[in-house]
Amino acid sequence: MDPELHDNIVDLGMVRSVSVKGETAHITIALTTAGCPLRATIKRDCETRVESLPGINSVQLHWDELTPEERTRVMERARLKARDTAAPSQIPARTRVISIASGKGGVGKSSVTVNIATALASRGLTVGVLDADIWGFSVPRMLGVDSRLNARPANSDEERGKIVPEERPEGPGLLKVVSTGLMVDTEETALMWRGLMLAKAVEQFLHDVDWGDLDYLLIDMPPGTGDVQMALARLLPQAEMLVVTTPAVSAQKVAIRVADMARRSHMPVLGVIENMSAFTTPDGTSWPLFGEGGGERLANEIGVPLLGSIPLEAAVSTGGDTGQPVATSEGPASRAFHEIATRIFEEIAPPPDMNACSASVIAEIPVSLKSEKTSDH
C-alpha cells in the first residue's frame, strides 16, 4: 500500500510489467516523478516482499515515470478514494471548500480570507468562514463578530446538540463564522493546547457545527504545515488550497512548503495571492516596500496561476481592526479582492495534481508474480 496515495500501486497503474526468468523476478515500476526521494524505500520493500516468494531468489527492478496523463489519473483516483473513506462531516457535499494557507505568519492570510469571503457573499452566496488558526484567531474581530457560540438542543438523548455558527449578513449574501475566538472569555485569552487538542478542535468544528447550506467554506489556516493542516487534509479530502505570500523572496520560499504539503495530501492548489504587493502614493508612484515578484515566482514554481496582487493599503488594516473588511468599501485593495473572488467563482477550476511522490510497494506485486509463475508452467 502506498502510504501517501493510500492505494495499491498495481491498481494505480504504476507497475508496468512483471516477469520471471529462472529464479529472478523482473519488475518495472513507474514513479509519479523521476526524482522520487523514496525510490530506495520502494526498492527495499519490493525486494523484501518478492524474495520471500517460493522460487524467487533475486529481484531486478526497472524504473519508469508516469506520463502527465497517467499522473492525473493516479491523483484523481487517490483523491476520490480519500473522499470515499473520509469520516462524515457537517459540510454539505455541494460546498466548495477552500483553505487559505501560508508558510509563515505575518503575510496577511486572515485578511485575505475574510475579504475574499466578504466579496463572495456580496454576490449573494452563503459563505462559511472557519478560523482554524486555533492559537492565533483573528477572524471574529476582522468580521465584527463577538457573540459566543451556542449549541442547538439535541433532538434525542443519543444526539449531541450542534454548534450554531455566528452569522453576518453581507448584502444579498451571508457569512457564517466559527472560531475559537467565539468560545473563549476574552480576545486576550491564551489557548495553551497541544497538537492533539488542536486536531480535535478542528474535527469538532467540522462534525459538531450545524453549518447548514453553504456555497463556499473558506478556512483560515494557521501558518506552516503542522497538526491542524494534516487534520484538515484528512477530514476534508475535497478541499482545495489558495497560497498567500508577500513579494519577499523569504516569504515565497517558505510558502512553497505549504504547496508541497497540499500536493502530498492530494489537495489541488488553485492559485497564489500576493499580499502587500506595493504601496502607491497619491501621485501614482508605486513603491515595492517588501520586494517584487514573489507571488509570480511562487505561482510559476508550483505551476498555478497568480490570481491577484493586493496593494499595501492602510484601509485593509483599518477594516480588519474595526470589523468592516475593506471589501465592503471602495478602493484599489477592495477591487483586487473582488477581482480575485470573481476569478474563483467564474474561472478557476481545480488543476490536476501532478507532483505527489510514490512510496512503497504493496502486496499485489507478489500476487502478480504468482500469476506469472503459474502461466510459465
pLDDT tens track for 165-213: 999 999 999 999 999 888 887 777 776 666 667 777 778 888 889 999 9
Backbone angles phi, psi at 107, to 5 degrees: -95, 0
Burial of 328 (0-12, 13-18, 19+ CB in 10 A): middle
CB–CB of 272/295 below 8 Å?
A: yes
Cell of residue 78, nine digits? 487517490
What confidence score (pLDDT) does residue 351 get?
A: 39
pTM, rounded to two decimals: 0.69
pLDDT tens per residue across span 13-72: 888 999 999 999 999 998 877 766 567 777 888 888 899 999 999 999 999 988 877 876
Neighbour-count burial for 156-182, b at 16+ CB within 10 Å, e otherwise: eeeeeebbbbbebebeebbbbbbbbbb
In angstroms, rounded to a whole number, what is the distance separating the alpha carbons of residues 333 and 356? 35
In angstroms, rounded to a whole number, what is the distance separating the alpha carbons of residues 184 and 182? 6
The conformation of residue 323, written as its DSSP 8-state character, comes to: T
Beta-bridge partner residues of 58: 24
What amino acid occupies position 346?
E
In angstroms, rounded to a whole number, what is the distance separating the alpha carbons of residues 69 and 352? 9
CB–CB of 239/96 below 8 Å?
A: no
Report which of 264, 376, 340 is spatially closest to residue 19, judged by C-alpha positions: 376
* Angle, in degrees to the nearest 10, between helices 294-302 and 249-264: 30
Cell of residue 200, nine digits? 480535535
pLDDT tens per residue across span 75-115: 667 656 655 555 556 687 788 999 999 888 889 899 999 99
> In order of start, what are the domains of the chain with their CATH numbers?
15-83+356-376 (3.30.300), 88-346 (3.40.50.300)
Question: CA 29 from chain center: how many Å?
Answer: 28
In angstroms, rounded to a whole number, what is the distance separating the alpha carbons of residues 233 and 231? 5
Q: Which of 203-212, 331-340, 358-367 has the lowest mean pLDDT?
A: 358-367
Q: What is the DSSP code string of 41-90?
A: HHHHHHHHHHHTSTT--EEEEEEEE--HHHHHHHHHHHHHHHHHHSPP-S
Q: What is the mean pLDDT of the chain?
A: 81
User: Which of helix, strand or coil describes residue 194?
Assistant: coil
Cβ atoms within 10 Å, residue 42 = 21
Cell of residue 141, nine digits? 474581530
Average pLDDT, integer, range 344-370: 49
The conformation of residue 93, written as its DSSP 8-state character, comes to: T
What confidence score (pLDDT) does residue 195 get?
A: 60
What amino acid occupies position 184?
V
CA atoms in the 13 A half-sphere facing the CB of 240:
20
Grade residue 354 by pLDDT with cuts at 50, 70 and 90: very low
Report which of 152, 146, 185 is spatially closest to residue 166, judged by C-alpha positions: 146
